[in-house]
Structure 1
Amino acid sequence: MKDGIHPNYREVCFVDLSNGFKFVTRSTVATKETVKMDDGRELPLVKLETTSETHPFYTGTQKSVDSLGGRVEKFRNKFASLGINKKSAA
């Protein structure tokens, strides 16, 4: 391999701010903060708003969004009292 073209990977601790879940992986991300791990290591710290521990897609708590037809019907019902029909709008 060529010298000087590969990034310098190091172990970094990522923390989910919503539940405190921590995981360590290798990354090149620049950080200003560090955290002391349970095993005594001091690692760079990256704070995240959501991770696979809290994201609805991964946790299975994702809500089903109404189908397009349901949204259109809600819109029509909401604005039906204005009396706009297709002929006057065109």
Structure 2
Amino acid sequence: MRPDIHPESRPVVFRDRAAGVAFLTRSTARSAKTIEWEDGAVHPVIDVEISSASHPFYTGTSRVLDTAGRVERFERRYGRTAPNRH
């Protein structure tokens, strides 16, 4: 590997404001804001709108769309325009 071409990776806190959860991980992202972490060390903090703590897929609150029912309802309402070629 060539030296001095990769950005510096350091501990950064990502804070999900919607869920009120913070994660300490390594990142190359920069931030002017800092926060004191649980161990007493001060780290840069980046506020995010959504994370695994608040995303519907990871929290189990996502809905499964009934696409087959929607297609049938559309065909009942508007009729089938093209012949079925299955």
Same fold at TM > 0.5: yes
**Correspondence 1:2-81 to 2 at 5 A:** 2-67=2-67, 69-72=68-71
Structure 1 stretches lacking a partner, 5+ long: 81-85
Give the number of aligned pairs.
81
Give the TM-score taking structure 2 as reference length. Answer: 0.75
Amino acid at match of 1:25: T
* Cα distance in 2, alignment partners of residues 65 and 41 from structure 1: 45
RMSD: 2.2
CA shift for structure 1 position 71: 3.1
| Deviations 1:46-79, CA, capped at 9 Å, x for gaps | 1111111111111211111131x433455577x8
Structure 2 stretches lacking a partner, 5+ long: 82-86
* Cα distance in 2, alignment partners of residues 17 and 75 from structure 1: 40
Give the TM-score taking structure 1 as reference length. Answer: 0.72
Instruction: Name the % identity.
Output: 42
Q: Which has the larger radius of gyration?
A: 1
Partner SS, residue 58 of structure 1: helix
